[in-house]
Amino acid sequence: LLDAAGTRKRAARAIVRERFERLYRGAGLALPDDPLLRRYYATFDLPRLARSRYGEAFAEWLVAGFEPIDFVVRLAEERGIVLMHGGGFDAPKMSVRVSLANLPDEAYEPIGRAIAGLLADYHAQWRARRHGAG
């Protein structure tokens, strides 16, 4: 029962590291360069991601126009992916938190794609409103 040699601990870390990498790959993001990051979960700061992908004006619109939980609700309703709202975990107010402990490895890349895809949908909505189509 004791893992004195650390074999199980290393195996568990390898599993969550691989899931973390799959999630980020799916979202089209570079892995964070943080040696203290444990990778048992991932938190995506949505305004920060919006800013880096689509610019400051879009990020401001996103924050001003939607409740912090909206992204999580739409992700569940429209994509069938249920994530935690990051704000309850001392994360940024408008963020999503992905546990890397409980799904099959192959589930994480599609989750990353869904996060990126939904953010792209918000961006399309923003562009349509800016160009008078809505």
What is the tens place of the pLDDT at every residue in 5-23? 889 989 988 999 999 999 9
**Whether pLDDT at 133 is above 90:** no
Query: pLDDT-derived band of residue 1, with 50, 70 and 90 as boundaries?
Result: low
Q: Is 51 exposed, middle or buried (0-12, 13-18, 19+ CB in 10 A)?
A: middle
- Cα radius of gyration rounded to whole Å, the chain: 17
Predicted confidence (pLDDT) at residue 39 exceeds the cutoff of 80: no
pLDDT band at 47 (very low <50, low <70, confident <90, very high): very high
Residue 134, pLDDT above cutoff 70? no
